[in-house]
């Protein structure tokens, strides 16, 4: 099948959303926790999460245009921090249900428990095995479509000791972290190979 | 294990790279094909690929600071287009090997075949099952660390007909697309569930 930009612009809206959201490949999927100045918590699933840098440790999250109420984005700009909580099979259904338009905090609506750590404002998701706490540092606006890349600096990482390899690599598969595709599909993974640093004119070495 | 920003900044550099590159969760991994004005092709694996919008159909790719020679970024800015080619198990070893510092085109060095389509300048990777051709539209510079988000508009999508569902969703698992974690680990996937659009106060429905 061959789609061109002209075809794509004429597709049914829902078909196009599914197609374009799945064409980038498998994605990170995590629950982002935030809170507003009144202390009302919010949690929602995001799959537009990207590594921005290791030193300082920066993560970017892409948000849709801020033309309607977007609680997570509003909260981050208001209270300047947020959390990223990996989704396991056990959390999956409740995590996906937070994407509905709830009137109250998705934590209580979806039977998720809030967890705080000392001296950090944003709420974590209890039961998540890999958890990151971030401070807001920068907002970039995409001119072409009005989306926003929010860049956060990592302040805290909580991860089970047994899934961190000697070289710092987090074995996400061992941590039960899921990946997603499109808008609504969740997948577990099976390692095919891990490679040593690649060099020209030398056969690749597998680490495991 | 609990890492704070102070711990993280003191970690061994390689340990930190592995830790921070894996903490965001599973990632898209694709070969990006490009060409310079002299017609010299380039292909390299990227895992910082993000959905930016569906209409117009936009994809973002994060690049490290442009302080040393970066062929892919230079080519995109020079010739204004690039391709994204999904990696299957069959392509995986050759795909990873393109990350080495080759002096010539990685296509020939790594036994990958170039494929062109009419009226589009950038090279595709023959054998990739999901292929995207994009025009450069926008560059955003992250002030905090000098990285660049390159936004491209989708001009072409090539995908096997049998993996596109009736609602537009591309079944990446059926297409054999891999996901990656950290800097060097490749994984295949197994679907846990696909959900219908979530509504408040209604039990989630599974699509498959």
Nearest 5 degrees, angle CA A3-CA A48-CA B9? 140
Buried b (16+ CB within 10 A) or exposed e, A178-198: bbbbbbbbbbbbeebbbbeeb
- Residue B66: the pLDDT is 80
Residue contact B173–A189, C-beta within 8 A? no
**Average pLDDT estimate for A52-62:** 97
Cβ <8 Å between A147 and B52: yes
pLDDT at res. B69:
75
- Residue A104, pLDDT score: 87
Q: How far is A9 from chain B (nearest CA, A)?
A: 7
Kindly identify which residue of chain A lies nearest to residue B145, measuring between CA atoms. Answer: A53
**Per-residue model confidence as pLDDT tens digits over A92-133:** 999 999 999 998 899 999 999 999 999 999 999 999 999 999
| Residue A62: closest CA among B80, B140, B206 | B140
Question: For position A208, what pLDDT does the model report?
Answer: 66
Interface of B with A in 38-97 (CB under 8 A): 47-60, 62, 84, 86, 89, 92-93, 96-97
Structure confidence at residue B183 (pLDDT): 95
Which whole number is the average pLDDT over A157-178? 98
How confident is residue A70, by pLDDT bands cut at 50, 70 and 90?
confident
- Look at A156 and B25 and tell me if their CB atoms are within 8 Å: no
Among A25, A99, A167, select the one facing B14 at the smallest CB separation: A167
pLDDT at B28: 97
Share of chain A above pLDDT 90, in %: 93
**Do B28 and A30 make contact, defined as CB atoms within 8 angstroms?**
no
Q: Chain B interface, mutation test: which of A23, A65, A140, A201, most B Cβ atoms within 10 Å?
A: A23
pLDDT at B70: 81
Q: What one-character-per-residue DSSP string does B125-168 give?
A: ETT-SSEEEEEEEEEEE-TTT--EEEEEEEEEEE--GGGB-TTS
Give B126-148 pLDDT, tens digit per residue: 999 999 999 999 999 999 999 99
Considering only CA atoms, which of A170, A54, A93 is closest in space to residue B180?
A170
Q: Which pLDDT tens digit goes with each residue over B52-65?
A: 999 999 999 999 99
- The pLDDT assigned to B191 comes to 97
Burial of B118 (0-12, 13-18, 19+ CB in 10 A): exposed
ipTM of this complex: 0.96
Q: Does B194 touch chain A (CB under 8 A)?
A: yes
E strand or H helix that includes residue B94: helix B89-97
pLDDT of chain B along its 208 residues, tens only? Answer: 999 999 999 999 999 999 999 999 999 999 999 999 999 999 999 999 999 999 999 999 999 998 777 899 999 999 999 999 999 999 999 999 999 999 888 999 999 999 999 999 999 999 999 999 999 999 999 999 999 999 999 999 999 999 999 999 999 999 999 999 999 999 999 999 999 889 998 999 998 6
* Mean pLDDT, all residues of chain A: 96
């Amino acid at each position: 099948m061959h789609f061109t930009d002209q075809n794509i612009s004429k597709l049914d809206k829902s078909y196009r959303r599914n197609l374009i959201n799945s064409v980038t490949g498998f994605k990170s999927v995590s629950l982002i926790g935030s809170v507003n100045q009144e202390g009302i918590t919010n949690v929602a699933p995001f799959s537009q999460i990207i590594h921005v840098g290791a030193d300082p440790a920066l993560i970017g999250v892409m948000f849709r245009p801020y033309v309607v109420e977007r609680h997570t984005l509003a909260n981050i700009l208001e209270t300047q921090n947020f959390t990223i909580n990996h989704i396991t099979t056990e959390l999956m259904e409740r995590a996906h249900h937070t994407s509905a338009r709830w009137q109250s905090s998705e934590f209580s609506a979806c039977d998720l428990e809030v967890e705080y750590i000392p001296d950090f404002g944003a709420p974590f998701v209890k039961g998540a095995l890999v958890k990151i706490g971030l401070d807001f540092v920068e907002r970039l606006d995409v001119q072409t479509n009005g989306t926003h890349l929010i860049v956060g600096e990592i302040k805290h990482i909580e991860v089970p000791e047994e899934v961190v390899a000697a070289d710092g690599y987090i074995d996400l598969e061992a941590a039960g972290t899921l990946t997603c595709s499109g808008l609504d599909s969740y997948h577990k993974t099976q390692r095919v190979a891990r490679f040593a640093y690649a060099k020209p004119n030398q056969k690749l070495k597998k680490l495991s």
